[in-house]
Amino acid sequence: MKLKLLQVGEKVLREAARPLTREEILSDATQDLICSMQETLRDAPGVGLAAPQIGLPVQLAIIEDLPEYWRELSETDLATRERRAVPFHVIVNPRITHQSDDPIEFFEGCLSLAGFTASVCRSREVAVECLNEKGEARTIRASGWYARILQHEIDHLNGTLYVDRMDSRTFMSLENYKRYWKQSPKKAN
Ligand code: ZN
In whole angstroms, what is the distance from residue 161 CA to residue 110 CA? 8
By three-state DSSP, how is residue 64 classified? strand
CA 117 to chain CA mean position, Å: 13
Of 65, 70, 52, 45, residue with least CA distance to 11? 52
Mean pLDDT of the chain: 95
In whole angstroms, what is the distance from residue 50 CA to residue 59 CA? 8
CA–centroid distance, residue 136 to ligand 1 (Å):
25
Residues labelled as active-site residues: 153
pTM of the model: 0.95
pLDDT tens sequence across 131-144: 999 999 999 999 99
CA–centroid distance, residue 2 to ligand 1 (Å):
17
CA–centroid distance, residue 24 to ligand 1 (Å):
24
Output the CA torsion 45→46→47→49 (10° steps).
-120
pLDDT tens sequence across 1-30: 999 999 999 999 999 999 999 999 999 999
pLDDT at 177 over 80: yes
pLDDT at 186 over 70: no
In the prediction, which pLDDT does 162 show?
A: 98
Quickly list H helices, 9-165. Answer: 22-26, 28-43, 75-81, 144-157
Beta carbons within 10 angstroms of residue 101's beta carbon: 7
pLDDT tens sequence across 26-71: 999 999 999 999 999 999 999 999 999 999 999 999 999 999 999 9
pLDDT tens sequence across 71-126: 988 999 999 999 999 999 999 999 999 999 999 999 999 999 999 999 999 999 99
In whole angstroms, what is the distance from residue 49 CA to residue 120 CA? 18
CA–centroid distance, residue 150 to ligand 1 (Å):
10
Q: Which residues pair with 62 in a beta bridge?
A: 49, 90
Domains, the chain: 11-181 (3.90.45.10)
By three-state DSSP, how is residue 65 classified? strand
